[in-house]
Amino acid sequence: MTIIEHFLLVLITTILITLCVNAVKDCQDCGHIKVPYPLSTSPNCGDPNYKIRCNSGTLWFDTINGSSYIITSINPTLQRLVIQPPGLANNTCMSRDFKNEGMWLDTNSPFNITSSNTLILMNCSLEILTMLFNCSSTSICHKYIEEGNAVISKNCGVTSHASKLCCDVKTGGSATSHRIRVREDRCAAYASFPNLDPSLPVSMWQPGVEIEWQLPAEPSCKVAGDCLDVANSRCLPDPVAGGEGKCLCNAGFQWDPVNGKCQDTKCQHGRGCKLRKKSPLIGDIEDDRVEVYERIMNSDSEEDFEATYEAGDEDEDGGISDPEDGEFRIGIKYSSRKSVVIAIRSYTIYRGVNYNII
């Protein structure tokens, strides 16, 4: 068996084992959108504490007062997602979620509003001046209303019947970490822009409300079988969670909250992990699977890769190419190519690694 064949066999088994057994069950795609762990669209996938909703190919973020917002992007590596602000109700300078007093996140949920959003508050009452918001004539809210889109200018601008008072504020204070409030005696409408550079023309401002989530703890369990999806774990009472049953990782493994699996502590970050150059008996594959996979995914240079596998130049007839810039290419004619491709695709997407199938 050549080194390439050996490597492919290890790789394929690795991927299949990693996906089928090792991690907490990921949720099915929502239309074409990946639902990365720990986000959960149904009680039997992801972590149910991180509930979002999939409706005909669109992901929704539901808040406690009955408002729902479309999720426009998700970054599982940074534990952040962006939702679409509600916009204005027809022919008014009032947000669509005004009747629910705006966007309220459950303070007991793992989600909160990040400190990166700039809010533009419009149609405000004088009482807003008691808040630490910038409602001066130099506030960027004036630029937004005047140079923003036609609907905003028409509904909230100088020629409208809306209050001329507007303000801007950065989220993140205690007042805005779990809610963006709109009401009669404050402001009736809002817009939001994550990581805003206000010197840009308003047409380039990207609307959104950025939300972050806490890293998830180990999955809850009642009986041993509940932990089958988390390889190398056992259902034990967790002292930290008041004795509640959790799938706690076995000795030598550590909970990896980003990927939802028990990670071999000997092989974190792919450093110090060598692929054993033995014939790939199942036992060896088991031992090596995290190492091999992490090595490929984290390998940051061609030299690094070649040094470990000594396979860099031998792949002209279809093999593993070198991972460049975090990309991972596979070009094999293999009976299980399709399953490997699918496996790699779902794995790399939720890991935030780019992939490229040639």
Closest CA to 164 of 209, 197, 200, 128: 128
Give how many residues touch ligand NAG by CB under 6 A.
24
Please give the radius of gyration of the chain, using alpha carbons only, rounded to the nearest integer: 25
Find the shortest distance in angstroms from Cβ 91 to ligand NAG. Answer: 8
Pick 60 or 104: Cβ nearer ligand NAG: 104
Establish if 92 lies at the interface with ligand NAG (CB under 6 A). yes
**Phi-psi label, residue 101: left if phi above 0, alpha if psi -120 to 50, beta otherwise:** left
What distances in angstroms separate CA 313 from CA 291, 307, 334, one per listed residue? Answer: 22, 12, 20
Nearest-approach distance from CB 101 to ligand NAG, in angstroms: 4
Give Cα 136 to chain centroid, integer Å. Answer: 36
203 lines the binding site for ligand NAG (CB under 6 A): no
> Please, which of residues 42-71 interact with ligand NAG by CB under 6 A?
64-65
The reply on whether position 191 binds ligand NAG by CB under 6 A is no
Q: Which of 186, 187, 204 is closest to 195 using CA atoms? A: 204
Build a one-symbol-per-residue string for 258-297: x at contacts with ligand NAG by CB under 6 A, - elsewhere. ----------------------------------------
Q: Are the C-beta atoms of 219 and 246 separated by less than 8 Å?
A: yes
- DSSP helix/strand/coil, 224: helix
Q: Binding of ligand NAG at residue 188 (CB under 6 A)?
A: yes
Cβ contacts of 23 within 8 Å, gap of 6 or more = 37, 229, 230, 259, 260, 261
Query: Least distance from C-beta 216 to ligand NAG, angstroms?
Result: 10
Site for ligand NAG in 71-90 (CB under 6 A): 90
Of 139, 308, 346, 348, the one binding ligand NAG (CB under 6 A) is 139
Residues that bind ligand NAG (CB under 6 A): 64-65, 90, 92-94, 100-101, 104, 112, 123, 134, 136, 138-140, 160-162, 177, 184, 188, 212, 214
